[in-house]
Every structure is written in C-alpha cells, then in structure tokens.
Structure 1
C-alpha cells in the first residue's frame, strides 16, 4: 500500500482515538478540509471542526468499509460513522443542539489528496439529513410563496 494510504489510515486511527495532535499531524499546515458544514483552512480551523464532533459525540467512531484500492491520490474511503449525542452540537444555522442521548449511524465518504506525506485537501461527504433526522429533525416544507413556479 502506498504512502497515501498510510497517512489515511493514520488519520482514521487518530480520529478514533480522538487524538487531536495526531490528527493535525496528518494535515499540512495550510490544508483545506471541505465538509457539508463548511470549509476549514489550516490547523486551527480543522482542529475546531474535529473538536465540535468529539464534544457532541464523545464516542465518535469511524469504520472504513471500502477503500478505492486502485486509486492512490486521492485516497478514497467509504465509512460508517457512529456516535452517541451526549454533548452540545453546533448546527448549520449557528444554534447549539444540546445532548439528545440519541445514537447515530450514518454513511460518509471522503477523498484525501496527499503531498509530501501530509494531507493537503480532505473532502468529506455525508448526508446531513441522515444525521439530523436521527437527532430528531425532519424536513420542513418551504413556504408556497417561495417555491419556484
């Protein structure tokens, strides 16, 4: 397996250990992390995002179930993410959702671009509706006046 996959596996292990220093060691200083929640640039912002998930889900855990083995850079992985919502979670609209005690299981995929042994760009994709519906949110119908004709 290539160095690209070695760094990806180190990131997974560090994430499951909630070891922020080891997580950041996988990223270049000016790395970009793109998620459904927004784009983080540099170690400070990337650390903040991981801290939010670890705070909201103290048992946050990734299980890789598919790796695009014929692809090195980017290294592409599909995950199952699990956790119990036991702490505050920042919502996309800026509100904070207090602990619900609900267990979540959702699917995600990501691609990591590596240069000089560090992740320079990491793109994480997951279905926010899958996550938020497990936390008690649902779809809301748009105001009929706002719908496109």
Structure 2
C-alpha cells in the first residue's frame, strides 16, 4: 500500500469513527482545505470545518467508491450518508437547525500529499442536492 493510500484509508476511517484528532493528524501543519462550506488553512481551521460537519451529522459515514492516483494526488469519488441531527452552518453564516432528515450526497475530492500527509484537500459536491435532502427551500433575492 502506498503512503497516499495509507493516509487516505486513515482519513476515511477517522471520518467514519468521528475521531477528529486522528482526522486532523492526516494533514500537514500548513495544509489547505476547500469545500462548499469554505476554505481553511492549517490543521486547526481544517479541524473546525470537519467538527461542524460531524456535529451536524453525528452518524456521518463516508463510503469511497472510486479512487485514482495521479502523481502526488489522489482523486476519490464517494458517497456521504448521515442524519441531520445537529446545527448545519451555511457558508453565509445562516444555521439550519436539525431536521432529522437523512442525507445521501455524491461527491468527489482531490488531495495532494507532502511527506506522507495531506497538504491540499479540495471537496466538491452538489450543494443543491444537500439542501434538498435537508428540506431547505431556495429563495431568489431581487436586485435592489
């Protein structure tokens, strides 16, 4: 097993066990993280993003279904499932309180590595798919 595959396996296991300490140790001290929820730099900020997501979905499970290595980068397609039983912080600062609804989100992420740890992690998923699962309604703001 390559270092990339080993760190990816540790990351997935930490997410599924909700072990925030083990999860953040998968990243370099100066790692960069980007997702629809926002951007973070360094282990502490990255840990904050994961903590918010794990709090919102306390039974969250990540199931990888396709991985590809390319140089020092891993591309992974996955399915995320969970129940919305905690507050979910939106990128604009609005909070969606627990709905008790189940979510299933398909997504993809890319991770670059340095010295056997994740140095860059970009997550992509359909935000509308997540909001629809939560029962959120979109409203169009009219220009002023």
TM-score, normalised by the number of residues in structure 1: 0.90
Measure how far apart 1:88 and its partner are: 0.8
Contact preservation (8 Å) 2:36, 2:91: no
Gap regions ≥5 residues in structure 1? none
Q: Trace 1:28-107 onto structure 2 (pairs within 5 A).
A: 28-69=28-69, 71-107=70-106
Measure how far apart 1:136 and its partner are: 1.2
Gap regions ≥5 residues in structure 2? none
- RMSD of aligned Cα (Å): 1.4
Measure how far apart 1:38 and its partner are: 1.1
User: In proportion to residue count, which structure has more strand?
Assistant: 2
Structure showing greater radius of gyration is 1
For residues 23-57 of structure 1, what are the alpha-carbon distances to aligned partners after superposition, in whole Å with 9 as ceiling and x for unaligned? 01100011011111111101111111111011110
TM-score, normalised by the number of residues in structure 2: 0.93
User: How many equivalent residue pairs?
Assistant: 144
Cα distance in 2 for partners of 1:62, 1:37 equals 17
For residues 92-133 of structure 1, what are the alpha-carbon distances to aligned partners after superposition, in whole Å with 9 as ceiling and x for unaligned? 221211110000001010011011011000111111100011
Measure how far apart 1:142 and its partner are: 5.0
Change (3 A) 1:60 1:37: same
